[in-house]
Structure 1
Amino acid sequence: MSVLTAERKVLNLKILVVGDSGVGKTCFIYQFCDGKFYPNYVSTVGCDCRNVTTDVDGTRMQLQIWDTAGQERFRTLTSTYYRGASGIILMYDVTNEGSFNNITYWLENIVHNASQDVCKVLVGNKCDKNERQVDYRRAQIFADSYDMKLEEISAKKNQNLEQVFESLCTTIMEQRQQRLSHQEHVESEIKESQVKLSGKEKSKSWCGC
């Protein structure tokens, strides 16, 4: 994934990053957008938004990345930002089992507030630490059960951050292409039916007397 300067059509995507407070959502976003890690943690109040233009498989994308608050008192506010989201990153801390268990809460929140076909990716942050509480295999089984891809990252070490967005954006593009192909197939069948119907009507109107 690389930042582009060439002028061509841009695909605009709204991406939300959700998860419990302290899992590293803000550090993840700043590291991806600025290439910097800020060790002094400050809880996000409400929501924050960053924009970055990247390239995925030759497609230029303008990503609007929303950093959402994980604290209980902000969760009602956070729900309003799901509207229009193309993709959602569900983040947990591999050294905090509670943050992983709470992913089910965030999935329920997505069901109630986001579109039915929104693309999701499960992300385990802080994989550089030794105090792991969430086994990779366990997380993979969970991700598979919800038809999500799993990525483990380190926002601090800048490990696999681009892979997260590449994986999510690729899934979004594949889904859009499937919808487009389905729409084209339906339109083709409608046109074919109209042609056949028109032919039958002409046949009925023909008189050989």
Structure 2
Amino acid sequence: MGQTGYYHQVSMGRYLTPKPPKLSEEKKYDYQIRLLLAGDAATGKTTLVDQYVKDEKTVRRLDNNSIKNQTKRKVLEKNQKKISLQIVDTAGQERYRSLTPSYYCQAHGCLIVFDLTKKNTFHNVYRWSQDIHEYAPSGIRIILVGTNCLSKKREVTRERAEKFATSIGLEYVEVSTEDKLNITEPFDKLIDMIIKDLEIKSALYRLQDKEDTNKDACVIS
């Protein structure tokens, strides 16, 4: 059974450690992963996540009148591992910058979404990436997503978006929610990166535990 990762806030910074799931959930999931969708308003974030979780029996909205009411869930399997996925959509909250830290707390990965038919939303991507690096746990994985890629009203070329994404160290994916093109690709890429990170962290901690055990065994009183 795999271990879930989560982040600790400490005085020297933020870092990821594996967290064993609760006993009631241990038999259900190998990983519990939290994703965040960020970006300007009206860029297609909600439509994107709605199409991704569509027809999932586990999808539900949480409590109303709170940040949690933007959270949706999905259960999936990858590489014979069962994953419980939480996706937090900031739709409607973009203007409340004071909520940013609470949204980013404990996120493993983030999709920054902009609209290819609205150049101003592309110009704001850098600001969103800066916010993520400021408020989110260190080591968070990020993918840049351009929506409306098949629109004739497109204002940002693929080449320009890819070049910018590369310049700030991000992978780039284009989608069309209207045509249901590449809807799962950015989520799949992000989840794969996160699982790889969690597996590496878990292996390092197992190695450290083994080394500590060997040291204790060699102590002569």
The match for 1:132 is: 154
In the TM superposition, residue 172 of structure 1 has moved relative to its aligned partner by: 0.2
Structure 1 residues 1-209: aligned runs within 5 Å: 8-34=28-54, 48-69=70-91, 73-193=95-215, 198=219
Aligned length: 184
Greater C-alpha radius of gyration = 1
In the TM superposition, residue 97 of structure 1 has moved relative to its aligned partner by: 1.6
Letter in 2 for 1:112: E
When residues 27 and 143 of structure 1 are mapped into structure 2, their CA distance, relative to the original with a 3 A threshold, is: same
Which has more helix, going by share of residues? 1
Aligned residues of 1:123 and 1:152 also touching (Cα < 8 A): yes
- Residue segments in structure 2 that go unaligned for 5+ positions in a row: 1-26, 56-65
When residues 74 and 134 of structure 1 are mapped into structure 2, their CA distance, relative to the original with a 3 A threshold, is: same
When residues 147 and 20 of structure 1 are mapped into structure 2, their CA distance, relative to the original with a 3 A threshold, is: same
- Residue segments in structure 1 that go unaligned for 5+ positions in a row: 1-6, 36-44, 203-209
In the TM superposition, residue 60 of structure 1 has moved relative to its aligned partner by: 1.8
Q: Percent identity?
A: 27
Bigger Cα displacement from structure 2, 181-190 vs 87-96: 181-190
Bigger Cα displacement from structure 2, 128-137 vs 110-119: 128-137
Structure 1, residues 83-126: CA drift from partner, whole Å, max 9, x if none?
Answer: 01111110011112211110111111112211011111111111
- TM-score scaled by length of structure 2: 0.73
Query: Residue 34 of structure 1 aligns to a residue in which SS?
Result: coil
In the TM superposition, residue 188 of structure 1 has moved relative to its aligned partner by: 4.0
Aligned residues of 2:106 and 2:137 also touching (Cα < 8 A): yes
Separation in 1, partners of 2:168, 2:203: 24
Separation in 1, partners of 2:112, 2:179: 19
Letter in 2 for 1:184: R
